[in-house]
Each structure stands twice: as structure tokens, then as C-alpha cells.
């Protein structure tokens, strides 16, 4: 079923699904997260579509609300996906391939469900409640397990033909690095946390250790490890190149960047700014501002809820059966 009336008094159920975590929350009309709950995204051979979906429903049931208390459901999920139908195939969640997430949630909650790319939801959140408030033309990015983005132009979310506009993680920034999408040279292959750690390991970083995470890489770079520092220089340079191209294409005023890797601060932003200065030389790109996202770990939930609460700006389609 599909219900189009989202004007009830209850909170919105917001869902944010990524490669490492599933987050759920109750969000009120002001964009305030009233309650939230997070669980690791199931991984491994047994994490098929139904196991993943059951884990998501179990997380929702940990919230201090009955399912019928929610006026509607907003969802951000890793891509790619078939939009607006809401069939998801996240690169970082192999158990979901063509999984009808929007339809399943509609059937279980008997409420309208609006689903979009998780990075697009982050962009909506930052435009509505975060660093992008008052900015009409911006790119919101997430740099974490993957790299994604969402475009706001003229104060409205830009969807594109299949709902993937702003997917900056697959802009090409070099000639040789293979990407999980099957292409070569994608930003995600250079700047996502796992790919940064894998590149550093191939250069001799923490040889023989089983666990080499983005946080480990950040800690070692801050401690002066040359290989870890080089990984951040490489990633920041790729980000600067990609952002310069996006600025020229879309005439942007602002780029906000969220996600775990951004916690590295100047390790990432210094080479990013240097590359942006080298490549963004047109008059209308020179003054582009690139800033950390404001909303922290709740950004995905706020953005998912914005699909419902600010549908005039961030939602333009109903499900295609």
C-alpha cells in the first residue's frame, strides 16, 4: 500500500542504513531526534536479505514507541538503488541486491514510506538544519565506509533520472585505482575509510595486523606515521579534485562533509584545500566554502525524516509499482 497523508501528529520513524550500522529514530516536526537506537549491520555469509531486514525491524522495536505511533517512515540507505521504487542494492551490503525495502516497510508499518540514498539524506539534513542553512546551492558529502553526496540547487534536492544525482563518490580522480563498482579511478576507491586503510597496508602500514581501521589510520597519522599521513594526503587530494569538478559543473556555494573520516580534521582538510586551490581556478569557483557537517551522528536520521517533514524541498516522487 501507499499512503500519501503524512500530516499526522506523531513523530516520523527515521531509518539510516549503512555498511557498518543501522540507525533508527523518532523525529519530531522540528527535526529533533526524540529517541534513537543503533545496531551493527549484519555481515558475513549468513547476512542475507531477510536477516538484514529482521535486524532492522528489531532495532525499530527497541524505540520507546509502538509501530502505530509513527505518522510515516523516512529512510536513507546506501546505494545504488532503484528510485523511487526503493529497491536497494548497496555496494557495502551484499545481502541486499534488488531488495524491495520501501515496499516491505510499507507493508509492515501501514504508513507512507519515502526512501532515498543515505548521502542524499545527509545533504538534506545539512541544508535544513545544519551547516547549509540559508544556502541555496550546495553539495552535501559523506566520507565513511563509502563516499556519496547529494545536490541542493535552488533550495531543492536534485534527484536525477534515477535518484542518484550528486553521487560524487564515483567521479574519476585518477587513472588507475580499481573501484568496487567495476570502474577505475573513482573517488570512493581513494578516499573511503576501508580503501584508505587497504592502500596504506599495501605500502607497509601495520604489516601483519588483522585489524586496520580508519580510526587506526587516523591515530597513526596524528602520531607521525609517514604512510598513514600519505594515505590522508592522497584521499584529501582526491576529494579536492572531485569537489573542484563539482563546483564548476553545478556553480556551488558550499560543500559540507560528514562521515567518520572527517574526524581526522586537518589531516584530511589541508590536502583537500590545497588540491581545491590548484584546480578550482574559475572566478565562480574560487570562493567555494568546504566545511565539516554540523549534525554529527544524527544527520542521517534528520535527513531521512526530512523526506517526510520537508517533502516540498526534498521529495518529488511517489513509488512506481
- Give the per-residue pLDDT at 8: 62
Range scoring the smallest mean pLDDT among 125-139, 201-215, 247-261, 278-292: 201-215
Mean predicted confidence (pLDDT) in 68-90: 93
pLDDT of 129: 95
Q: pLDDT averaged over the chain? A: 93
- The arithmetic mean of pLDDT across residues 273-277, rounded, is 97
Query: What is the grid cell recorded at 81?
Result: 538503488
Answer yes or no: are the C-beta atoms of 106 and 114 closer than 8 Å: no
Eight-class DSSP state of 188: H
CATH number of the 12-118+298-314 domain? 3.30.420.40
Written as nine digits, the cell of 50 is: 531477510
Q: Reply yes or no: is the peptide bond before residue 77 cis, omega within 30 of 0.
A: no
Cell of 236: 584529501
DSSP structural state of residue 255: E
Domain-by-domain residue ranges, the chain? 12-118+298-314, 131-293
Helix (H, G, I), strand (E, B) or coil at 257: strand
pLDDT of residue 213: 87
Say yes or no: do domains 12-118+298-314 and 131-293 share a fold: yes
Q: In 3-state terms, what secondary structure has residue 270?
A: helix
Residues 6+ apart with CB under 8 A from 193: 143, 144, 145, 213, 214, 217, 260, 261
Which residues does 307 contact at the CB level (< 8 Å), separation at least 6? Answer: 74, 75, 114, 115, 116, 121, 124, 314, 315
Mean pLDDT of 219-229: 97
Residue 3 reports pLDDT greater than 80: no
Of 9-13, 72-76, 140-144, 206-210, give the lowest mean pLDDT range. 206-210
Residue 125's pLDDT band, with cuts at 50, 70 and 90, is very high
Alpha carbons 142 and 127: distance in angstroms, whole number? 14
CB 303 within 8 A of CB 119: no
Exposed e or buried b per residue across 97-116, where buried means at least 16 C-beta atoms within 10 angstroms of its C-beta: eebbbbbbbbeebebbbbbb
Mean pLDDT of 221-241: 97
- Per-residue pLDDT at 261 exceeds 90: no
Residue 282: Cβ within 10 Å count:
11
Lowest mean pLDDT among 84-88, 89-93, 221-225: 89-93
pTM: 0.89
CATH number of this structure's domain 131-293, picked from the four choices 3.30.420.40, 3.30.300.20, 3.40.50.2000, 3.40.220.10: 3.30.420.40
Cell numbers linked to 229 = 599521513
Cα atoms in the Cβ-side hemisphere of radius 13 Å centred on 2: 13
Q: Check pLDDT > 60 for residue 4.
A: no
> Does residue 285 contact residue 248 with C-beta atoms inside 8 Å?
yes
Query: Residue 2's pLDDT is what?
Result: 37
Amino acid at each position: 500500500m501507499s499512503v500519501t497523508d503524512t500530516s499526522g501528529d506523531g513523530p516520523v520513524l527515521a531509518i539510516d542504513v549503512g555498511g557498518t550500522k543501522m540507525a533508527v529514530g523518532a523525529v519530531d516536526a522540528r527535526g529533533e531526534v526524540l529517541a534513537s537506537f543503533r545496531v551493527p549491520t549484519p555481515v558475513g555469509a549468513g547476512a542475507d536479505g531477510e536477516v538484514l531486514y529482521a535486524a532492522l525491524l528489531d532495532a525499530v522495536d527497541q524505540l520507546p514507541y509502538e509501530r502505530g505511533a509513527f505518522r510515516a517512515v523516512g529512510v536513507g540507505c546506501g546505494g545504488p538503488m532503484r528510485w523511487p521504487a526503493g529497491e536497494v542494492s548497496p555496494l557495502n551490503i551484499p545481502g541486499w541486491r534488488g531488495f524491495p525495502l520501501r515496499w516491505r516497510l510499507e507493508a509492515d508499518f501501514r504508513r507512507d514510506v519515502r526512501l532515498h540514498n543515505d548521502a542524499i539524506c545527509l545533504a538534506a539534513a545539512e541544508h535544513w538544519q545544519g551547516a547549509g542553512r540559508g544556502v541555496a546551492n550546495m553539495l552535501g558529502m559523506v566520507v565513511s565506509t563509502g563516499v556519496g553526496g547529494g545536490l541542493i540547487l535552488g533550495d531543492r534536492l536534485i534527484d536525477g533520472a534515477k535518484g542518484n544525482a550528486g553521487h560524487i563518490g564515483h567521479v574519476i580522480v585518477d587513472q588507475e585505482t580499481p573501484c568496487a563498482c567495476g570502474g577505475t579511478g573513482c573517488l570512493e576507491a581513494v578516499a573511503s575509510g576501508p580503501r584508505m586503510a587497504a592502500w596504506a597496508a599495501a605500502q607497509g602500514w601495520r604489516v601483519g595486523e588483522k585489524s586496520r581501521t580508519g580510526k587506526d589510520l587516523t591515530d597513526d597519522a596524528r602520531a607521525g606515521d609517514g604512510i598513514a599521513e600519505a594515505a590522508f594526503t592522497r584521499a584529501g587530494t582526491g576529494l579536492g579534485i572531485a569537489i573542484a569538478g563539482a563546483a564548476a559543473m553545478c556553480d556551488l556555494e558550499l560543500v559540507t562533509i560528514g562521515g567518520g573520516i572527517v574526524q581526522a580534521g586537518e589531516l584530511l582538510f589541508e590536502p583537500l584545500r590545497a588540491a581545491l586551490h590548484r584546480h578550482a581556478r574559475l572566478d565562480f569557483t574560487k570562493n567555494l566554502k568546504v566545511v565539516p557537517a554540523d549534525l554529527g551522528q544524527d544527520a542521517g536520521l534528520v535527513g531521512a525524516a526530512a523526506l517526510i517533514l520537508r517533502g516540498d524541498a526534498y521529495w518529488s516522487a511517489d513509488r512506481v509499482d
